[in-house]
Amino acid sequence: MRVLALGGAGDMGRTAVTTLINSPGIEAITVADRNYESAEKFINLANTKKASATKIDVTDRRQLMDLISRHDLVMSSVGPYYKFGPSITEACIEAGKSCADICDDWKPMLSVLSMDEKAKQAGITIIPGIGASPGLSNLMAVLGASELDEVDEIVTAWGAGKAVSGPPQPHHVKKKFLDEAGVSGENAAVAHLLYECLEPIPTFREGAITYIEPLSDAAPIRFPGHEDTRAYHIGHPEPVTIPRAVKANSVSNVMFYGKSFIELLRKFVGQIKQGVLSIEQAALQLQLDMITNAEIIGAESTSPLPPICATVTGMKNGTRKRIAVGLTHIPYGQMAGGTGVPLAIAIMMLAEGRITLTGVQPPELAIEPRYFLNRYAKYCGEGLSVDDVLLKKEDYL
């Protein structure tokens, strides 16, 4: 199988590409990125003949279509998704090529979901949002819900939690060898975080989507065996996709970080709304401030919770029960590992024919959780399985 890795020279993309390099089922990978020099340097340092580099401007429709048409599968980590997600999906559908991405914005997710029928007519599979959150969070929510007779509330959460890191994969290239200058431009993930705080965000309450203010206080995360943890609503796609797979009264996505980081984020969101800064300018300044205040932010934000977790509350045998699931291990690379490895696994499953549903299929509809997490575990440490990397707790209410 020949895979086109759009944005493959970025932080998330490189980890996903490295994972595919080590997969015997993938014969060739084209790392397509706007930063051709970085893509070429990455491949040279990775010392592999399986991958090649090319320059791409994903807004150039003709160039994008030509590249997609010459590959079997498309793996996209081009962000921010509010800019590029739907247009790349449209191109894949037009070219008749299946695709997986790490879309973490709710608004483009709705646009991609609306393309379901077109994808089915094309006979292809689109898996949007298969990273950490969304992605692993959705699968853990489904896993918890499967143990209840009735589900009332689902909360997916992410933050600066504690987990054991796996070892680097073969062919891994450290970022410092690619970007010696440090912060040279706004980070797509930071731009995404700011963007999703600029307007009301969807959450699922009493069986329907409703809109709330981003960064508003959420109910504390109640993970059995841990102290209640302060959390904030954020606009990830879980509340708009999980209700398609699990019947629940409430689905919300929250993040848990310290007060200093939240105040810093709110400050830049306010400046964007006032027209003082563009999103791109604010993203760059926020990155710099995070580096300057790293010690304070790190001390306040570190939580004993798993960095990605889900709590599911409902009924079991007539008794109200809560099941909490979290990751105790992550692949090497922190956020890049936790996001890029799931993306690559989804591509490998498509290549192997293990995902047969066509149309637009979010992770919780397309993927069996335990099977996927068992594959994920192997990147967290030698000999590990799903039961080694998941922390599952429950209590009766």
Instruction: For residues 211-232, give the mean pLDDT.
Output: 96
- 368-385 average pLDDT score: 98
Domain 2-131+332-381: which CATH class? alpha beta
Mean pLDDT of 38-49: 95
Please provide the average confidence, as pLDDT, over all residues in the chain.
95
pLDDT band at 188 (very low <50, low <70, confident <90, very high): confident
Average pLDDT of 340-354?
Answer: 98
Which amino acid type is present at position 304?
A: P
Beta bridge partners of 158: 255, 308
pLDDT > 90: percent of the chain = 89
Kindly tell me if the per-residue pLDDT of 296 is higher than 90: no
- Average pLDDT in the 183-197 region? 79
pLDDT digits (tens, 9 = 90+) for 89-138: 999 999 999 999 999 999 999 999 999 999 999 999 999 999 999 999 99
Predicted confidence band at 178 (pLDDT cuts at 50, 70, 90)?
confident
pLDDT of 185 strictly over 60: no
Domain boundaries, the chain: 2-131+332-381, 136-329
pLDDT higher than threshold 70 for residue 179: no
Q: Note the residue count of the chain.
A: 397
What is the pLDDT at residue 284? 92
Residue 390's H or E segment, with its range, is strand 390-396
| Average pLDDT score over residue span 286-308 | 85
97 close to 2: Cβ distance less than 8 angstroms: no
Residue in 35, 41, 88 with CA at minimum distance from that of residue 63: 88
**Predicted local distance difference test score (pLDDT) of residue 347:** 98
Instruction: Note the pLDDT of residue 182.
Output: 43
Question: Which tokens hold the place of 244?
Answer: 């398609």
Q: In the Cβ-directed half-sphere of 390, how many Cα atoms lie within 13 Å?
A: 25
Q: What is the pLDDT of residue 294?
A: 81
**What number of other Cβ atoms are within 10 A of residue 57's Cβ?**
10
For the 136-329 domain, the top CATH level (class) is alpha beta
Contacts of 283 (CB under 8 A, 6+ apart): 186, 187, 190, 191, 194
Looking at residue 169, the DSSP 8-state letter turns out to be P
Q: What is the pLDDT of residue 159?
A: 94
pLDDT at 184: 46
Res 313 pLDDT > 70: yes
What does the pLDDT look like over 60-93, one tens digit per residue?
A: 999 999 999 999 999 999 999 999 999 999 999 9
